[in-house]
């Protein structure tokens, strides 16, 4: 009888320890999954900084390239991948150029970083435009142009 009680107590202890170990294992997997998801999100935001294909939360999207057209209310920016993006200017848009700049500083051929919200039609309403931005200390590469055949 004594052996049976000891065996039952050992079986209960092993079961409880196994259950506790399984709970801790699942918690560690859950933390790793959350960390991996955050890492993926950060990578997506980094990719979005090029203004090519990623949209940040809330429709906020940076656009980087060369001004190829402009009018009173918008500029068209040629992106590094050769596509273009229409950027809408508003009264709230701010302009920077090593010092504060204005809308009149926007010229064809200028390199710009545009930060704003993406509209349903694909255009971007500018909140801030940086003229002649440094590309994170990287050498400036010319934006490829399409040649007529």
Give the number of other Cβ atoms within 10 Å of residue 39's Cβ.
10
Give the number of other Cβ atoms within 10 Å of residue 105's Cβ.
14
Q: What does the DSSP assignment read for 11-24?
A: HHHHHHHHHHHHHH
Q: Does the predicted TM-score (pTM) go above 0.75?
A: no
**Model pLDDT, residue 35:** 47
Q: What is the pLDDT of residues 16-70, one digit of tens each?
A: 888 877 777 777 665 545 444 444 444 444 444 444 444 445 566 778 888 999 9
Greater confidence (18 vs 136) lies with 18
Greater confidence (98 vs 136) lies with 98
87 membership: H or E segment, kind and range = strand 84-88
**Model pLDDT, residue 41:** 47
């Amino acid at each position: 009888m004594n052996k049976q009680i000891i065996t039952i107590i050992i079986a209960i202890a092993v079961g409880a320890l196994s259950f506790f170990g399984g709970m801790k294992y699942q918690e560690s997997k859950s933390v790793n999954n959350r960390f991996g998801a955050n890492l993926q999100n950060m990578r997506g935001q980094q990719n979005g900084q090029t203004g090519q294909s990623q949209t940040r939360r809330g429709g906020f999207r940076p656009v980087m390239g060369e001004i190829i057209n402009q009018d009173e209310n918008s500029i068209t920016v040629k992106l590094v991948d050769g596509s273009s993006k229409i950027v809408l200017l508003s009264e709230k848009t701010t302009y920077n150029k090593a010092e504060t700049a204005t809308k009149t500083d926007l010229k064809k051929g200028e390199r710009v970083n545009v930060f704003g919200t993406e509209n349903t039609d694909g255009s971007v309403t500018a909140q801030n435009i940086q003229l002649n931005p440094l590309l994170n200390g990287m050498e400036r590469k010319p934006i490829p142009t399409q040649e007529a055949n």
